[in-house]
Chain A
Amino acid sequence: QAQLVQSGAEVKKPGASVRVSCRASGYTFSNYYMHWLRQAPGQGLEWMGIINPSGENTRYLEKLRGRFTMTRDTSTSTVYMDLSGLRSEDTAVYLCARGSPVDYYTMDVWGKATAVIVSS
Chain B
Amino acid sequence: DIVMTQSPDSLAVSLGERATINCKSSQSVLHSSNNKNNLAWYQQKPGQPPKLLIYWASTRESGVPDRFSGSGSGTDFTLTISSLRAEDVAVYYCQQYFDFPPTFGQGTEVEIK
- A residues lining the B interface (CB < 8 Å): 44-47, 59, 61-62, 95, 97, 100, 102-103, 105-108, 110-113
Question: Which listed residue (A62, A95, A103, A110) contacts B101, Cβ 8 A?
Answer: A62
Tell me how far the C-beta of B95 lies from the nearest C-beta in chain A, rounded to whole angstroms: 7
A67 to B110, CA, bound (A): 36
Number of A-B residue pairs, CB cutoff 8 Å, is 53
Main SS class of interface, A: loop
Tell me how far the C-beta of A73 lies from the nearest C-beta in chain B, rounded to whole angstroms: 22
Q: Return chain A residues, CB-CB under 8 Å to B61.
A: 108
**Chain B 71-110, CB within 8 Å of chain A: the 1/0 string?**
0000000000000000000000101010011111111000
- B residues lining the A interface (CB < 8 Å): 38, 40, 42, 48-52, 55-56, 59, 61, 93, 95, 97, 100-107
A100 to B50, CA, bound (A): 14
**Given A45-B107, A62-B101, A112-B49, 20 further pairs, Cβ under 8 A:** A44-B105, A45-B50, A45-B95, A46-B104, A47-B101, A95-B50, A103-B38, A103-B55, A103-B56, A103-B97, A105-B97, A105-B102, A106-B40, A106-B97, A107-B42, A107-B52, A108-B61, A110-B50, A112-B48, A113-B49
